[in-house]
Amino acid sequence: MRQKIKDGKRIVIKVGTSTLTYDNGSINFNRIEKLSMIISDLCNMGKEVVLVSSGAVGIGCGKLRLAKKPETIKEKQAAAAVGQCELMHVYSKFFAEYGHVVAQILLTGIVLDNNEMKENVCATFETLIKQGIVPIVNENDAISSYEMENVKNFGDNDTLSAIVAKLVNADTLIILSDIDGFYDKDPRNNSDSKMIKEIHEITKDIEDFAGGAGTNRGTGGMKTKISAAKIATGSGTNMVLANGEKPEILLDIIEGKEIGTVFVGKKEV
């Protein structure tokens, strides 16, 4: 299995807010710089990488010097609009230092229901990737919200990353979180929990292990990682869940080392 991950050429990497920011919500430049350097290195190795990055609301709150997360949807969307700009600025700067160009792609659920939009975005991804550019994807928070009728949102970036992996026919989806992998119980509350190295089938037991919500700064917890795993494996993509604390871990994963949990992709029927 790990050999397949080693051989995979096209990789989608998702990083969560908990990886990109400190506990107090401020931007973790050190982490983002390392991530940018490692992804640049992966590109230099000949891998094709798409990054799905959260963090816009958190970084927007920091930029606006808000003492606490905004409560209303409108304020959250405003913070996301400010934060997205800042986030891309930071990525663009760090990637440029390592000789790489990035592009921003903001998606909404509606794109999936419209063939023309879907074809357009797939063509844009292909063109960027062929030019060696790293697409950085996020949900278009300014126009997606649960409250808006007729605009289906992805809800969380775990699911979004799996959809992106499907759109670009990725070989591997790597979700970086604040935990080493998928456990048989939430390790935050259970000292006897054990990490599962390989999951071939997302059974009822596995869904039950996913338990409740994640950390304050994160969003989905394991439930959304399992939803992502279903989409990714269902379209033949292997998904790896690993800890993003040290972005260098990406190199080990790509070398086929036994890191994190692999959700094994099914051959598409």
Site string for ligand ADP, 159-188 (x = CB under 6 A): ------------------xxx--xx-xxxx
Site for ligand ADP in 239-258 (CB under 6 A): none
Which member of 8, 58, 60, 220 binds ligand ADP (CB under 6 A)? 220
Longest C-alpha distance within the chain, in Å?
50
Residue type present at position 34: K
Taking CB under 6 A as the rule, does residue 21 contact ligand ADP? no
Q: Using CA atoms, how far apart are residues 49 and 193, in angstroms rounded to an integer?
A: 33
Taking CB under 6 A as the rule, does residue 227 contact ligand ADP? no
254: Cβ–Cβ under 8 A, 6 or more apart, which residues? 5, 6, 8, 11, 42, 45, 47
19 vs 159, beta carbon nearer ligand ADP: 19
Q: What sign does the CA torsion over 128, 238, 212, 249 have?
A: negative
135 vs 221, beta carbon nearer ligand ADP: 221
Which member of 134, 222, 240, 262 binds ligand ADP (CB under 6 A)? 222
Q: What sign does the CA torsion over 68, 178, 7, 238 have?
A: negative
Residue 192 CB, shortest distance to ligand ADP, in Å, is: 13
30 vs 216, beta carbon nearer ligand ADP: 216
C-beta separation of 42 from 254 below 8 A:
yes
Taking CB under 6 A as the rule, does residue 94 contact ligand ADP? no
C-beta separation of 137 from 102 below 8 A:
no
Return residues touching ligand ADP (CB under 6 A): 16-19, 177-179, 182-183, 185-188, 209-211, 214-215, 218-222
